[in-house]
Structures are given as C-alpha cells and as structure tokens.
C-alpha cells in the first residue's frame, strides 16, 4: 500500500510490521461536535482501518478525546455549564454521530483526564534530560534545545510563531524563556480544574496529552499517527519533540497522515467561525451512505467546499447502490466482470486512499448489476458489491 507521509512530503510504500498496525488519531476537543469536517477526518481513518482488516491485518485503533483544554473551559463559561458536564455531553454526541455514520468502534477511546500520571512521567523525563524547565509551578519545553524541531511541519522558527499563536500559544507568558516554548504542565489558575503534580497543582498542556496516550497504548514507535491538517503545527510537531526526546526512540511515528480542511460558504469550516454543518443535522434528512459517498467523492488530502445541493446527488447514488445490492437475482449466467472492478477498486484504495476512483468502480459494478438481464444470476456480483462497499463503510440502506 502507498500512503502520503506528511513528514517526508511524499507518497511512500507502507509496510505492515509483524501483521499488525498501530494507529493513533487525534480526536475531538468536545464542544460543538460533530461537524462534517470532523466526519471527513475520522471517517478517512475508518476506511483505512476497514481496508487493513479486510486484508487480514490486525489493527489497534486508538482515538482520544481532549476533555480538558482551554477551549472546553472557555465554552463551558460561555454556556454556563460545568466543564466536565460539557465535555461528557459533547463526547456522547460525537460517539453517537460516529455510530450513526457506521464507523467501526475504536479499540481504545481514551480521555486525557484519565492519563495524568503518564503525562507526569514524560514531563519529568524531559526535565531530567535538560529539555524542559519549571517556572512558578508551570513546566515548559525549551524548543531551542531540540535541533530537529520543525522536521514535520518544515517551518522555520520565524514562520512557526504566528501559527502557534493562532492555535493556543501564549507568547507573552512571562514565565517563558522564549515565546515559542510550549507548556507541558500549567500551574493552577483561579476557577479552573486542577490535579496534583510534582510541580504543584495544575493541568496538562495540550500536546503532552496525546504523547502520553499514544505511547501508552501503542508503544514508543507507532505505525500511523493521524488527524486534521491543522494539527501538523504546533500539535503534532510538539508531540514528536516530547516523545522522541523522552524515550530516545525514533521515529515516534513511521507515517504521519493528515486530512484536508472542509470549507463552507468559502471559509474553512470551524467552530471558531461558527460556520458548521453538523453531522447530526444532515442525518435527519440523508442516509449515512449518502454522506459518506459525498465526503469521499473528494480525496482526503484535497481541500474542498461542502455544498448543500450536492447531497441530493449522492443520496441518489446511494439509493442506486442499494437497489443493485438487493435486486432479485435470476439463475442464468451473467457476464458481469467482477474481477475488473474489484482489482481497480483495490488499486485505488492502495493508491493513497483514492476514494473518488474507488467510488467510481463501485458505482460501475452497481450499474452493471442493475442493467443486467432480469434472468441473470447477479448474486456473485452483489456479494462483491457488498464486500467492497463495506470497505467504504456503506450499509446499503437508502432513504
């Protein structure tokens, strides 16, 4: 299989080690879930897991929920809720949406707040290595001490700072030695939840959460680490710095996979902009298959624009596949070339998850079934349609 590796910026051959793939995907920060950009990201990895398992590969699929974070605390204040209640409520919504979109269950669905001890361990190792420092009860990673910092994002230090500032960095923090240094543990602030630590009460920084959870469940070097493209910097860059310097094991992740952003009304769909198309709302009208077909008519690495009017087209496509899947089969011989479609479908998936091409082959097979003679035995073609459709997460239930 060939997959694009964000670190090398090229498509590489992905090889399975010892029949097993460990995959960690950065999940939601639980407020205002689940928009269709979330769905595009997480269902991309759902298809990857499905394909590996279809090929007989053992997969351990880990996804986290960032249940303590600046954004969760801010949103909780805005809506007048306890932060824990908000996080739990939005996490339930997300999991329900994923279930309704026919996503495979995660092998481990991990909450940041359940892994505070692991974060402390990694933070102490970085302090012991001289790569972090403590000021007034907060612990910071000193970026200048890591010569490899930037190897994932390929950004210069000058380019990094404005991006980091847009994504949660606090450059004016008086405790920092450098504005780009990032927090591993932040000292308690009035009105915020806190946990005890060797450096005093506080809460974890964003990046240390995923480093702790991924290494706990998948070991010190994992096969695939994924998430949205907006996580490349600073989140995933900081994860690498923490993990590789704390453990000494390189690479932290063999492959980095990132899913492109989805736009709506000519802007990136995001919670901060408020231009969200929610999966829950779409599911009131459209089938999960229609949503999946629309999403994956786009390649996962290509930024695209969600258009409401496109949903009818893909609902019709989902209905056509359902009709083909369940049409009555005859007993006469059929000349449907199943293997040609199967081979092309598999080749598309193995070519960096080329789902638009895979959908084309699936639709062609469905069309061949639907237009075959009423007397033709299409059962073998229908079985192939179901098998390949399952890789894309289709249930063949139309609305």
Q: With 80 as the cut, is the pLDDT of residue 81 above it?
A: yes
If one counts the domains in the chain, the total is: 2
Q: What is the pLDDT of residues 338-379, one digit of tens each?
A: 999 999 999 999 999 999 999 999 999 999 999 999 999 999
Q: Do 126 and 249 sit in the same domain of this protein?
A: yes
Instruction: Choose the final residue of a domain: 231, 263, 295.
Output: 263
387 and 240 share one domain? no
Q: Are residues 310 and 229 in the same domain?
A: no
Q: What is the pLDDT of residue 110?
A: 97
Which structure tokens are listed for 189? Answer: 């602030």
Residues 141, 24 share a domain = yes
Q: 268 Cβ partners below 8 Å, 6+ apart?
A: 37, 261, 262
Assess contact for 223 and 22: CB atoms under 8 A.
yes
**Last residue of some domain: 228, 263, 298?**
263
Inter-residue long-range contacts of 121-130, CB under 8 Å, 24+ positions, other chains counted: 121/212, 122/184, 122/208, 122/211, 122/212, 122/215, 122/242, 122/243, 122/246, 123/184, 123/185, 123/208, 124/198, 125/246, 125/247, 126/184, 126/242, 126/245, 126/246, 129/245, 129/246
Q: What is the pLDDT of residues 11-56, one digit of tens each?
A: 999 999 999 999 999 999 998 889 999 999 999 999 999 999 999 9
Strand ranges, E, within 213-342:
222-228, 253-259, 262-264, 267-268, 304-305
Instruction: With a cut of 80, say whether residue 273 has pLDDT above it.
Output: no
Structural domain including 379 reads 287-391
Residues 83 and 161 in one domain: yes
> In this structure, what CATH number is given to the domain that contains residue 327?
1.20.120
CATH number for the domain harbouring residue 162: 3.40.50.620
- Going by pLDDT thresholds of 50, 70 and 90, the confidence category of residue 272 is low
Same domain, 293 and 254: no
Same domain, 59 and 139: yes
> Please, what is the average pLDDT of the chain?
95
Same domain, yes or no: 60 and 185? yes
68 falls within a domain: yes
**Tokens coding 345:** 């479908």
Res 192: pLDDT: 93
Angle at 44 between CA 76 and CA 357, to 5 degrees: 150
Which of 230, 263, 296 delimits the end of a domain?
Answer: 263
């Amino acid at each position: 299989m060939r997959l694009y590796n964000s670190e090398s910026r090229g498509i590489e051959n992905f090889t399975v080690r010892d029949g097993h793939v460990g995959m960690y995907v950065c999940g939601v920060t639980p407020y205002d879930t689940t928009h269709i950009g979330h769905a595009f990201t997480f269902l991309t990895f759902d298809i990857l897991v499905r394909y590996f398992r279809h090929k007989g590969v053992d997969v351990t699929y880990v996804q986290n929920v960032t249940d303590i974070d600046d954004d969760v605390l801010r949103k909780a204040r805005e809506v007048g809720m306890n932060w824990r209640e908000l996080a739990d409520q939005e996490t339930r919504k997300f999991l329900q949406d994923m279930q309704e979109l026919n996503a495979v269950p995660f092998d481990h669905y991990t909450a940041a707040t359940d892994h505070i001890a692991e974060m402390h361990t990694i933070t102490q190792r970085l302090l012991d290595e001289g790569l972090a420092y403590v000021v007034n009860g907060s612990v910071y990673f000193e970026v200048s001490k890591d010569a490899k910092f930037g190897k994932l994002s390929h950004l210069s230090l000058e380019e990094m700072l404005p991006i980091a500032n847009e994504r949660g960095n606090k450059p004016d923090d008086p405790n920092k030695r450098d504005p780009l240094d990032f927090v591993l543990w932040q000292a308690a602030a009035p009105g915020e939840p806190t946990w005890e630590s060797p450096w005093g009460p506080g809460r974890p920084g964003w990046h240390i959460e995923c480093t702790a959870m991924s290494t706990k469940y998948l070991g010190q070097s994992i096969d695939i680490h994924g998430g949205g493209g907006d996580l490349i910097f600073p989140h995933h860059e900081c994860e690498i710095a923490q993990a590789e310097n704390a453990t000494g094991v390189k690479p932290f992740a063999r492959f980095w996979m990132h899913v492109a952003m989805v736009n709506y009304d000519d802007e990136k769909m995001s919670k901060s902009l408020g231009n969200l198309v929610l999966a829950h709302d779409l599911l009131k009208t459209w089938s999960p298959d229609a949503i999946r077909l629309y999403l994956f008519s786009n390649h996962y690495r290509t930024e695209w624009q969600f258009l409401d009017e496109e949903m009818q087209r893909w609902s019709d496509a989902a209905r056509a596949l359902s009709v083909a899947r369940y049409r009555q089969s005859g007993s006469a011989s059929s000349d449907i070339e199943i293997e040609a479609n199967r081979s092309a479908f598999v080749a598309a998936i193995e070519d960096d998850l080329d789902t638009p091409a895979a959908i084309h082959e699936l639709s062609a097979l469905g069309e061949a079934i639907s237009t075959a003679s009423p007397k033709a035995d299409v059962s073998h073609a229908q079985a192939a349609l179901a098998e390949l459709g399952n890789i894309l997460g289709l249930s063949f239930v139309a609305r």
